[in-house]
């Protein structure tokens, strides 16, 4: 009987993960919020470019860095929302026995040469 090498304990309902729909919705909300902040940075940069160039450059840096941080934050939320996974236990199986086969030479049948 062949069993899977990874054995998992059943999860209790208190540690159950959130549904996929809720997880995706949460990621989308975090990403959209970060993109809203990025849009605000671009608007601030455009509005302050001539008057306060230091503020405009800071807003430009925020507009460049925020998309990367938004993706990382959206993906990092997966472990925080879903909780820690239980450790997998490795089940040792019995070692396979090797069967040695002897080589066999199969020759075609001999034919009568006097024919």
Tens digits of residue pLDDT in 14-32:
666 667 788 788 888 888 8
Contact 15, 81 (CB under 8 A): no
In angstroms, rounded to a whole number, what is the distance separating the alpha carbons of residues 35 and 65?
A: 11
In angstroms, rounded to a whole number, what is the distance separating the alpha carbons of residues 70 and 103?
A: 64
Mean pLDDT over all residues of the chain? 77
DSSP state of 64: H
Could you tell me which residues come within 8 angstroms of residue 43 by beta carbon, excluding any fewer than 6 positions away?
Answer: none
Whole-model pTM over 0.85: no
pLDDT value at 60 more than 60: yes
DSSP state of 90: E
Report pLDDT digits (tens) over 81-115: 455 666 777 777 777 777 778 888 888 888 776 65
């Amino acid at each position: 009987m062949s069993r899977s090498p990874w054995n998992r304990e059943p999860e209790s309902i208190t540690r159950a993960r959130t549904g996929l729909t809720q997880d995706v919705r949460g990621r989308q909300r975090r990403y959209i919020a970060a993109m809203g902040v990025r849009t605000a940075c671009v608007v601030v940069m455009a509005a302050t470019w001539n008057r306060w160039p230091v503020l405009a450059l800071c807003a430009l840096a925020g507009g460049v860095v925020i998309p990367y941080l938004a993706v990382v934050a959206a993906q990092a939320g997966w472990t925080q929302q879903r909780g820690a996974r239980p450790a997998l236990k490795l089940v040792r199986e019995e070692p396979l026995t090797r069967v040695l086969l002897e080589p066999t030479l199969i020759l075609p049948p001999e034919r009568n040469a006097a024919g």
